Structures are given as C-alpha cells and as structure tokens.
Amino acid sequence: MTASYELELMEWLRRRSCDHPVVKLGIGDDMALLDLPSGRILVSSDLLLDGVHFDTRRHRLTQIGRKAVACSLSDCAAMAVRPVAVTVSVALPRSRTLAEAQELLEGVFSMAGEYDAVLVGGDTTSWDESLAVDVAITAVPYQNIEPVRRSGAQSGDTLYVTGRLGGSSLGRHLTFTPRVHEAHTVAEALGDRLHAMIDISDGLALDLWRLCRASGVGAILDEPLLESVISNDAQRLAGEDGRPAIKHALTDGEDYELLMAVAGDAIVEGLSLYPVGRIAASDLQMRGADGALSQLKPEGFVH
C-alpha cells in the first residue's frame, strides 16, 4: 500500500462513516469517543503484521505481544485517557505450538498489567501465512479531564514532544514506553492550555501534518530545536545509511512519543517536554538555523 493509497482510504472511510447519536468523535483521531447511557468510553484497534511491524525471525514472541498492546496504549496516551480493557485476536501460522502462543500472550498480559488494563477476550485462528496480531482497547476519561483531540491546535501554540526521535528500528520500536502516565500528568497540569495531541507512530513530519490537518492550521518546525531531540539511534543510522539524522527523526516512525500543541510554556513538574516549533496559520515548514523557511513534506512510515 503506497502512502497516497493509505491516506486516500482513510479519507474515504471518514466520508463513509455514518452519523449516530452515540458517536461524539469518530474516524480521524487516535480513538473514537462514544457517549453511552452508562457513561463515555473510547475505543481503538491496532493490527500488527510479521514483516511489517515485527520480525519473528529476530524478535521474541513476548516482545511482539508486548508491542501489540503498547501500540494501543499509546493511542490512550495520545488522548490522555485511562486504559481499561483489551481484546487480542491472533492469526497464528499452523507451524506454531501451544507453548509459542502462550509465550506471545505472556507479553500481552505483562504490558496490559503495567497499566491496569485487563485482557477480556479476543479470537484465535491458524493459517498458512505469517503471524498477525490485532489489539482492541477500551478506555475512559480521567475525572475532570476531557479527552485531548488532534483538532484543537491554534496559531501561536508551541509544539512540544515528550522524548527523542528517530532510529526506532534499532530496537526501540519493541521496547518503547507508552506515554500514558505522562499524558495524564500533562493534561492535569496544563488544563485548557493543552490544545491538541497525537502520538508519533508514523514519524514527526507525517503525524504533525495529521494534527495540523485536523485543526485547520499549519506549523513551523525549528531545525535547531529539532536537532536537540534527535536520538542516538538516529545518529547511528545516519552513519550507516548516509541519510541525515534529522531526516530519521522526522520520518522513521514508531517513536511513540507525544506531540502536543500548547498555549504558552509547558512547564510540568517532574516531566521534561521539548519544544520543537510552533503552530502557524497554514503550510508545513522548517525554519533553518539561518532563519530561512523551507517546505516540509508530510513523509513518514506508511504501512
């Protein structure tokens, strides 16, 4: 699937999704928000495939199970909501044993348990193809904290990230910590000044474009600031493949840090947030060290 293919499919789905009185936020954000008689819940799902999101020839099954749940937990972090329950559906190659299936699910139990999310069901099947794992997650809003959407960024907001970017393929894509607790802390501390948020799953440039598109704004990244959050892994990859380290930070994906648009300074006790730019009225641009602006393409990891 090409980048344009995936984006066009998402746009088609968004147009096709029907109105329903319980749907307060549908396709187009990190989670859907449903307003039920018993209260509000949020739901999302993530499908991970062998050869795309993990490699069973190199990665342990417990690592794969852990990552499958961590990706869904990162959706909860993106909206600053509390995970509650997960379901896991697994398509196992026929060659896999019961012990191997249990090993995969031990990773699921371990990751979900860290965030007090309970495994409540799912499905299993076997086939002649590679391993596929789908996780659906349910969450609820924290008390007195509204779920944070992608669509609230305003011109003049400062853009912050929660950690270093790029080079996740060297191993961090399996071991990352979903920023669930950090999101709760930020949302509680900043309140209404936290205008928008998204997790960086497909690369800073592409996910920033998604946030801007949802908010009807643009953005200017500051190259010197961005240089300060390039990971050591991105630097290492740059030395191996010749691509600039900043390009890795912008497009590698699977960092699973949070990108947020904040009115004013984001000073949160006990938490480091790193400014990387500002929301602008339109366009996606990069400001170089010399102050010159250049267009920034919304490139990243497309499944």
pLDDT over 90 (residue 3): no
Residue with the bigger pLDDT between 18 and 237: it is: 237
pLDDT over 80 (residue 15): no
pTM confidence score: 0.94
Q: What is the average per-residue pLDDT within 186-196?
A: 98
The pLDDT score that the predictor gives to residue 303 is 60
Q: What fold, for 3-141? A: 60s Ribosomal Protein L30; Chain: A; (3.30.1330)
Could you give the CA distance from residue 234 to residue 252 in angstroms, rounded to a whole number? 9
Asked if residue 217 lies in contact with residue 153, where contact means CB atoms within 8 angstroms, the answer is: yes
Q: What is the average per-residue pLDDT within 147-158?
A: 98
Q: What is the average per-residue pLDDT within 2-23?
A: 74
Which one is the CATH code of 158-295: 3.90.650.10, 2.40.160.40, 3.30.420.10, 1.10.150.530?
Answer: 3.90.650.10
Q: Which tens digit of pLDDT belongs to each residue from 200-253? A: 999 999 999 999 999 999 999 999 999 999 999 999 999 999 999 999 999 999
Q: Which tens digit of pLDDT belongs to each residue from 23-67? A: 898 888 899 999 999 999 999 999 999 999 999 999 999 999 999
The pLDDT score that the predictor gives to residue 1 is 41
Instruction: Compute how many other C-beta atoms are within 10 angstroms of the C-beta atom of residue 245.
Output: 21
As beta bridge partners, residue 287 has 222, 293
Domain boundaries, the chain: 3-141, 158-295
Cα Rg, the chain, nearest whole Å: 19
pLDDT over 50 (residue 167): yes
Task: For the chain, give the percent of residues with pLDDT over 90.
Answer: 89
